[in-house]
Each structure stands twice: as C-alpha cells, then as structure tokens.
C-alpha cells in the first residue's frame, strides 16, 4: 500500500497545533536561556577564561548550549506528544486510522525535528546577533541538529510509551541526559580533564554531539577523530533506536490494549 | 455468496495479567445489517470492538472486514471502519472542527473533501455554534455528537457505535436514531452496542448477546422479541442475570 502522505502531514499539523498552545514553553524558554548564557559566559565570567583553540570562551560554550537545548526540545517534544496521546487516549485516533507504524513514527519524529530546528535557528540567530558565534558549515550544522533530534526524539518515544505517570517521564532526563550532558564537554575541553576522565568523555555520546555542533559552528574540534566517530555514533544510535521503536509499535507496547 | 461486512472467527483476547476478556467468539454481520451487540458491563463488547478496530491486539483468531484481514491488512481494513467509542478519546483542547478535520486527514482525505464533509457534519449534528469551542467546554451531549461526526467523516462502510447515546438527551437520541436509520437504509452496515434495550429493539435487525466473553445468543430481532418476555427476558436469561422461571412472564402478561 502506498504512503499515506495526507495522514503523515496531519500528524505533523496536529502536533504543531498542540505546540502552538504553549509557544513560550516550546520556543521562547530556550531562546531566553541562550541569551542568559551569552550574557554570563560572554560578558561576565567568560572574560576571565583564556581562549580555547583561538576562540573566545562564549564561542566555545554556545554550540554546547545549543546542543543541550536541542536535546531537551527533542526529548520533551516526543515524550509529551507520546505520553499525552496515551494519557488522554487520543492516540486511538491514529490507531484506528489507515496509518502504518512507520508513518506514525516518522510523523512524530518530523514534528520533533521541526521544533528543534526552530529552537536551534533561534539560538543561532541570537548568537550571531550578539557576535557570540558563527556558522562554519550549514550542511554540517543541519546534520547535527537533525541527527541529535532524531536520537532524542526516538528515546523520547520509548520513554513516552513506557511511562505510566509523570514521575517516570522525567527519570531518563534526571539520571541520564542531564549528568551525561554536563560531563560531555559542553563547558570544557576534554584536554582540561585528568587522563582517566578523558576516556570517560570519549565513551560519552554527548561529547561527540557537542563536538560536532561546535565544529559546524566555529570550526573547532577537541579531537580530529571525534568527528567521523561522532557521525558513526549518531547514525548507529539512530538506526538502533529506530528499530527498537518500530518493534514497540509493531507489538503495540504502551499503545494497544 | 455475499462477503460479510464483519466476520469474526474464534477470537480470543487475553489481557496482560491473564484476564480472558473474549474467549472463542465467532460471529458474522451481513452487509447492510443493523446489528445490535448486547451484554452486561465487562462481558467483552468493547474488547471485541477494540480488536476489530486495532485499539487492542488480538491474542488469536481472525477478523475480516468486507473480506479484508483486519490484522494482516490492517490499513486496508481500517479504511472501511468508522468508530464511535464509548469513552471520549479526544484531545480536550482541540475544537470540534479540528477533531473532525484531523480524523479526515488520518484517513487520507484531501483538504477540500475534509472541509466539505466537516461543514456538512457540523451542520447535520447542530454543532455550528460550537464548532470552534474547545472540546472540554462542550456539554456531554455535544461531545457525543462530535465523536459521531469524527466516526463518519470518511464515510465508512462499517460504522461501529459503542454506546453512542449514553448520557445524551432525548432529543438527540431520537434525532440520532433517525439519522442512523437513514444511513442504514442507504446501505451502511452498523454495529451498535447499547444498554438501552428499546434502542436496540427499535433500530436493529439482528441481535447478538455476549456474556463472559462468549456469544450466548444470536438471532434476528423478530425471532428474539417474539419469545416470551421479549428482548429483556431473553437478555436476562442469556446473560445468566435471572433464571428462566423468574424471567418468564406471568400468564396473559404482554411483553
């Protein structure tokens, strides 16, 4: 059977309508947060740090801040979309419709990407306006924004399907995303870490995401091999998570009675 | 031989935790039938409907909608069905117009068709003054109308109505009855569950009674209502709610 393009577009349209009920939470909050980071790291604290690879500290930090906001936007979008649809049972509208599992997943991910791209472009525009960043490579920038969105969008779907209450929705964020992102080279170079901690950073996917986004914006990479490895980590994780989500949809986990 | 509108064969549904909700259920609904599906709460009516429509997974057995396998060819089967569920499964912050339009979109209807059909249904169900209010702001009766419009937007061949008149006023109930009879006269197959026996008796041509996950009685309405005590007595006997000697009418008593 052919792809249900209208159905796919309707999933995106509908979710966009839901997001536009909370534009401050969805878009304004990360932009204001980026503005505050620029103020603190650009004009207050940042002046005390020496340049890193020839870049001011704010130039080094802002790509990581942008990456953190993409991660949060993607994860929040897909967990809330999936969980609220289940909680209020209107997920049944799509279950009774002629939509394939892949169409449902792609529709959900597409909206996640729309939200994160708007978030990222807003932060980028603010950064450029305040002279805090540049864009070294637009295709590379888009690759990282979309790649990170897909990974955390898929993780968000899994958590949204698994959660049976609001407490469970936040668990991955509290115990996994926030700690790993903080030690993933957002605020410091890996070279600042002691030897044994460097290897921990290299084992942390957030390091590759932050490093990739940073390279696409200011052309600086902590470690030359980190870029191809980061691309492999991003594509590999996306593929594995997509398979898991597809399987969960196919068996109806968290969706069907 | 005519292909049944709905054919269920040896359906079994076991929920996680081991509850057997439907056990070896088989039934057929002929095209153009108005089929009443009766049973006490928890008998397995909604579970059967959920298995047919894809809200629940099927443990074993087969379901065919106009000959299309509802599990293997689920997308094709779902195009043929419109469901008005018992529980309101709606985004409460969306408006009736959005809810109907989105459902049309999920079914692949073009924007022009959705607009025409949404306007038509809003007008038909007296929702014009409420079409752009949030769903949660509507009264129970208006909510029920929205759910019906949503089920009808893609003009399904098989309409499944799970207690569509629960909580609605007499006017809407009668208006809905007229509308459903019109639809059925035009050839639409309707499966109706209801706790209002007079509703089933007035509308349906065929009746099946389910209890403890199994069909315990099935027949044409005419043959069932002709039995002593009428539909209510047959229902009570079949579901085991009342023993035969209690349900049997006193001599000379009408139905």
Same domain, B8 and B57: yes
Same domain, B95 and B134: yes
- A133 in Cβ contact with A218 (< 8 Å): yes
Instruction: Give pLDDT, residue A194.
Output: 83
Q: Do B76 and A1 touch (CB under 8 A)?
A: yes
Alpha-carbon distance B198 to B217, whole Å? 18
Residue-range domain boundaries for chain A: 5-251
Write out the residue range of the structural domain in which residue B217 sits.
1-80+157-168+187-242
pLDDT tier at B253, thresholds 50, 70, 90: very low
Chain centre distance of CA B65: 14
Same domain, B48 and B163: yes
pLDDT at A245 over 90: yes
Instruction: Give pLDDT, residue B250.
Output: 47
- B84 in Cβ contact with B121 (< 8 Å): no
Q: What is the mean pLDDT of residues A206-210?
A: 93
Interface of A with B (CB under 8 A): 1, 4-7, 9-11, 13-14, 17-18, 21, 88-100, 251-252, 256-257
Q: Do A7 and B78 touch (CB under 8 A)?
A: no
Closest of A46, A84, A59, A236 to residue A160, by C-alpha: A84
**DSSP 8-state code for residue A119:** H
- B109 in Cβ contact with B117 (< 8 Å): yes
Residues 6+ apart with CB under 8 A from A190: A198, A201, A202, A207, A222, A223
Of B105, B131, B155, the domain-final residue: B155
Angle at A80 between CA A140 and CA A110, to 5 degrees: 35
A90: which chain B residues are within 8 Å (Cβ-Cβ)?
89-91
Instruction: Give pLDDT, residue A1.
Output: 65
Bridge-based pairing of strands B20-29 and B68-69 is unpaired
B78: which chain A residues are within 8 Å (Cβ-Cβ)?
96-98
Interface of B with A (CB under 8 A): 15, 47, 50, 53-57, 74-76, 78-79, 81, 83, 85, 87-94, 98, 102-103, 105-110, 150
Residues 6+ apart with CB under 8 A from B101: B114, B115, B118
Q: Do B107 and A18 touch (CB under 8 A)?
A: no
Give the closest of A88, A97, A257 to B107, CB-based: A97
If one counts every other C-beta atom within 10 angstroms of the C-beta of residue B98, the result is 19
Element (H, E) at B34: strand B34-38
Give the closest of A6, A251, A257 to B55, CB-based: A257
Alpha-carbon distance A205 to A141, whole Å? 17
Condensed to tens digits (0 to 9), the pLDDT of residues B126-154 reads: 999 999 999 999 998 899 999 999 999 99
Assigned domain for B251 exists: no
**DSSP 8-state code for residue A232:** H
Instruction: Give pLDDT, residue B255.
Output: 38
Same domain, B1 and B71: yes
Q: How many residues does chain B have?
A: 255
**Could you tell me the CATH number of the domain that includes residue B46?**
3.40.50.300
Same domain, B119 and B214: no
Same domain, B130 and B162: no
Q: What is the mean pLDDT of residues A70-92?
A: 94
Q: What is the mean pLDDT of residues B232-236?
A: 91
Same domain, B38 and B7: yes
Instruction: Give pLDDT, residue B167.
Output: 77
How big is chain A by its Cα radius of gyration, in Å?
Answer: 19
Condensed to tens digits (0 to 9), the pLDDT of residues B215-233 reads: 999 999 999 999 888 999 9
Same domain, B162 and B67: yes
pLDDT tier at B254, thresholds 50, 70, 90: very low
Pick among A102, A255, A257 to test the B interface (most B CBs inside 10 A): A257
Condensed to tens digits (0 to 9), the pLDDT of residues A13-38 reads: 999 999 999 999 889 999 999 899 88
Condensed to tens digits (0 to 9), the pLDDT of residues A155-184 reads: 999 999 999 998 898 888 889 888 888 888
- Which residue from A minimizes the CA distance to B71? A250
Q: What percent of chain A has pLDDT over 90?
A: 68
Same domain, B91 and B128: yes
Pick among B106, B155, B158, B162 to test the A interface (most A CBs inside 10 A): B106
Mean pLDDT of chain B: 91
Residue owning tokens 């359906």: B11
Q: Do A96 and B98 touch (CB under 8 A)?
A: no
Same domain, B143 and B206: no
Same domain, B144 and B163: no
Alpha-carbon distance B3 to B28, whole Å? 10
Q: What is the mean pLDDT of residues A145-151?
A: 97
The four Cα atoms B148, B153, B154, B155 give a dihedral, to 10 degrees, of 60
Alpha-carbon distance B223 to B205, whole Å? 10
Chain centre distance of CA B97: 23
Task: State how many domains chain B has.
Answer: 2
Pick among A97, A107, A247 to test the B interface (most B CBs inside 10 A): A97
Condensed to tens digits (0 to 9), the pLDDT of residues B25-40 reads: 999 999 999 999 999 9
Condensed to tens digits (0 to 9), the pLDDT of residues B150-185 reads: 999 999 999 999 999 887 888 888 988 999 999 999
If one counts every other C-beta atom within 10 angstroms of the C-beta of residue A5, the result is 10
Instruction: Give pLDDT, residue A186.
Output: 85
**DSSP 8-state code for residue A184:** T
Q: What is the mean pLDDT of residues A54-58?
A: 89
Closest of A217, A30, A11, A247 to residue A112, by C-alpha: A11
Q: How many residues does chain A have?
A: 257
Same domain, B161 and B238: yes
CA distance B47 to chain A (A): 9
pLDDT tier at B68, thresholds 50, 70, 90: very high
Q: What is the mean pLDDT of residues A49-78?
A: 91
Instruction: Give pLDDT, residue A179.
Output: 87
Instruction: Give pLDDT, residue B243.
Output: 57
Angle at B145 between CA B141 and CA B151, to 5 degrees: 145
SS3 label, residue A52: strand
Q: What is the mean pLDDT of residues B196-205?
A: 92
DSSP B189-253: EEEEE-S-HHHHHHH-SEEEEEETTEEEEEEEHHHHHTSTTHHHHHHHHHHTSS-HHHHSPPTT-
Element (H, E) at A113: helix A101-129
Alpha-carbon distance B50 to B173, whole Å? 24
Chain centre distance of CA A71: 3
A257: which chain B residues are within 8 Å (Cβ-Cβ)?
15, 47, 50, 55-57
Q: Which residues pair with B207 in a beta bridge?
A: B36, B219
Q: Do B108 and A95 touch (CB under 8 A)?
A: no
Instruction: Give pLDDT, residue B242.
Output: 67
Q: What is the mean pLDDT of residues A82-87?
A: 94
Instruction: Give pLDDT, residue A156.
Output: 96
A17: which chain B residues are within 8 Å (Cβ-Cβ)?
94, 98
Q: What percent of chain A has pLDDT over 70?
A: 100
Closest of B88, B91, B11 to residue B47, by C-alpha: B11
Give the closest of A10, A21, A257 to B106, CB-based: A10
pLDDT tier at B190, thresholds 50, 70, 90: very high
Angle at B105 between CA A114 and CA A251, to 5 degrees: 75
Closest of B87, B151, B143 to residue B117, by C-alpha: B151
Assigned domain for B250 exists: no
Q: What is the mean pLDDT of residues A54-66?
A: 91
CA distance B94 to chain A (A): 8
Closest of B176, B164, B87, B174 to residue B125, by C-alpha: B176
Q: Do B110 and A96 touch (CB under 8 A)?
A: no
């Amino acid at each position: 059977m052919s792809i249900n393009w209208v159905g796919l577009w309707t999933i995106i349209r509908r979710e966009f309508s839901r997001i536009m009920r909370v534009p401050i939470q969805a878009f304004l909050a990360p932009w204001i947060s980026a503005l505050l980071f620029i103020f603190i790291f650009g004009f207050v604290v940042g002046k005390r740090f020496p340049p890193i690879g020839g870049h001011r500290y704010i130039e080094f930090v802002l790509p990581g801040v942008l990456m953190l906001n993409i991660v949060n936007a993607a994860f929040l979008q897909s967990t809330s979309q999936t969980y609220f649809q289940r909680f209020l049972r209107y997920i049944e509208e799509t279950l009774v419709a002629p939509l394939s599992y892949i169409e449902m997943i792609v529709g959900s991910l597409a909206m996640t990407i729309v939200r994160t791209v708007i978030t990222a472009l807003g932060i980028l525009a603010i950064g450029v306006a305040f002279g805090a960043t540049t864009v070294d490579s637009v295709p590379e920038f888009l690759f990282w924004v979309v790649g990170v969105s897909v990974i955390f969008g898929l993780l968000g779907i899994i958590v949204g399907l698994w959660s049976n209450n609001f407490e469970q929705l936040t668990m991955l964020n509290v115990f996994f995303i926030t700690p790993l992102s903080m030690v993933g080279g957002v605020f410091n170079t890996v070279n600042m870490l002691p030897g044994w901690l460097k290897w921990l950073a290299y084992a942390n996917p957030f390091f590759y995401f932050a490093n990739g986004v940073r390279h696409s914006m200011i052309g600086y990479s902590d470690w030359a091999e980190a870029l191809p490895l980061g691309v492999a980590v991003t594509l590999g994780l996306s593929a594995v998570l997509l398979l898991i989500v597809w399987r969960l949809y196919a068996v109806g986990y968290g969706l069907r009675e | 031989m005519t292909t049944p509108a709905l054919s269920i064969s040896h359906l079994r549904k076991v929920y996680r935790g081991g509850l057997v909700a439907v056990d070896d259920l088989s039934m057929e609904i002929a095209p153009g039938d108005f089929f009443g599906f009766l049973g006490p709460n928890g008998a397995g009516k909604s579970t059967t409907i959920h298995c047919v429509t894809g809200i629940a997974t099927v443990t074993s057995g087969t379901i065919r909608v106009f000959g299309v396998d509802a599990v293997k060819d689920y997308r094709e089967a779902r195009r043929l069905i419109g469901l008005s569920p018992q529980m309101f499964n709606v985004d409460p912050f969306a408006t009736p117009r959005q809810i109907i339009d989105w459902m049309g979109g999920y079914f692949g209807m073009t924007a022009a068709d959705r607009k025409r059909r949404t306007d038509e249904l809003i007008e038909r169900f007296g929702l014009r003054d409420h079409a752009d209010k949030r769903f949660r702001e509507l009264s129970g009766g208006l909510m029920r109308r929205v759910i019906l419009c949503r089920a009808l937007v893609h003009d399904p061949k098989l309409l499944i109505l799970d207690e569509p008149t629960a909580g609605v006023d007499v006017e809407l109930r009668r208006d809905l009855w007229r509308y459903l009879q019109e639809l059925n006269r035009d050839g639409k197959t309707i499966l109706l569950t209801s706790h209002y026996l007079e509703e089933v008796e007035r509308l349906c041509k065929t009746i099946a009674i389910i209890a403890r996950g199994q069909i315990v009685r099935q027949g044409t309405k005419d043959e069932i209502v002709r039995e002593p005590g009428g539909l209510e007595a047959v229902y009570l006997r079949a579901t085991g709610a009342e023993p035969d000697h209690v349900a049997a009418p006193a001599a000379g008593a009408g139905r």
